Structures are given as structure tokens and as C-alpha cells.
Amino acid sequence: MQAMSETEADPALLPILIAPHKTLKTKARPVVDADMDRVRVLVPRMFAAMYKAPGIGLAAPQVDVALRLAVIDLQTNEVRKPFAMINPEILRVSEDWATREEGCLSLPNQYADVSRPAAVRVRYMDLDGKRHEVEAEGLLSACLQHEIDHLDGVLFVDHLSALKRNMLLRRLAKEQKQKALA
């Protein structure tokens, strides 16, 4: 028998929620010790879904899990450098802001310029329970803030004017409807 083609849906692949969805608007709760077995199973599946999409970050609420957990891999120069963040917190933001175009796997094909603090300092725990602090600017800074927003039920369009946000959400709804009919 022929191997399954790349284009066929992989039943093992975690589906990524598309906005609007209740979980995407929910504030996720912190991961506790009792969650760790589940988290250890979930993280590789989140990476698989993120790479497949493809994307550079994915937060647990995007796969319908309301826990404070996200995975990131900027894949700079196509080199994989994955890390998972458990209970990430923004410790400090810079006074200067930066604007860059963002997209989101939960709002496929929708992009807009988003302004955020240019640099951040973030603390998180890894899968081994080790604490890390990262100082980031540029794409990583935006990505960290974007993913941590997801844990608070905030999407990048929530940083835009109501006019722009509604335009993107309407366009997304229209495209999703067309996709469902296709």
C-alpha cells in the first residue's frame, strides 16, 4: 500500500483552533506538578502541529488546552532551536516600542502590523522544572509577547483598532466559510 501523502490530514496531529473560539478567549491557568505528565505528552505534539502548520510559536489554548504553556522555535536560517515554556511571565518590558507584522495559526492568512515593547525579559520553567530567564528583542521579543498573550486570552488582533480587527476577523470568517464549502 502506498504511504499516506503529505497532503492528507494526519489523525495524530493536534488540530489548531481557529478564531473565534471560547478557549482562545480564556485566561489559561498555571501548570502545576499534577499536570506535568500531561504536559510532557502534549509538548511534542504541539511542536509537531506547529512545524506542520508551519509556524514559529504555538500556545496551549490554541490546541484547546487552557494551561499556561507555549512552544517556540523561530527556525532562524532553517535551524531548529525549539523550547517549551511553562508558566512564562514577562518580568520587564522596554520603554521603546517596535512594530512588526504578525500572523497567528489561529487566524490563518491574516497579517497586520502590531506595536509592542521592543524588548522583554521573560521567566519560564522548562520540562525538567528548571527556571530560565531570557532577554529578547526583535522577532523573539514579539513572539514571546504574542504567545504569552494567548495564555491571557488575547489575540494579536486585540492590539489593533476595532475597525482593523473587525475587518480581519470578517475576512477570516469569510475565508473559513469558503474553505468549508470547497
104 or 114: whose CB is closer to Zn ion? 104
36 or 45: whose CB is closer to Zn ion? 45
Is 163 within 8 Å of 102 (Cβ atoms)? Answer: no
Query: Any idea what DSSP says for residue 60?
Result: G
| CA angle in degrees (0–180, nearest 5) for 166-171-173 | 95
The least CB distance from residue 181 to Zn ion, in Å, is 26
Query: Any idea what DSSP says for residue 32?
Result: -
The least CB distance from residue 22 to Zn ion, in Å, is 16
8, 137, 147, 175: which is the annotated catalytic residue? 147
The least CB distance from residue 150 to Zn ion, in Å, is 6
Q: Which residues bind Zn ion (CB under 5 A)?
A: 104
Q: How many CB atoms are closer than 10 A to CB 122?
A: 22
147 catalytically annotated: yes
14 or 104: whose CB is closer to Zn ion? 104
User: CB burial class (10 A; 0-12, 13-18, 19+) of residue 33?
Assistant: exposed
- For 26, the enclosing helix (H) or strand (E) is none
Residue with the CB atom nearest Zn ion in the bound state:
104
What are the residue numbers of the active site? Answer: 147
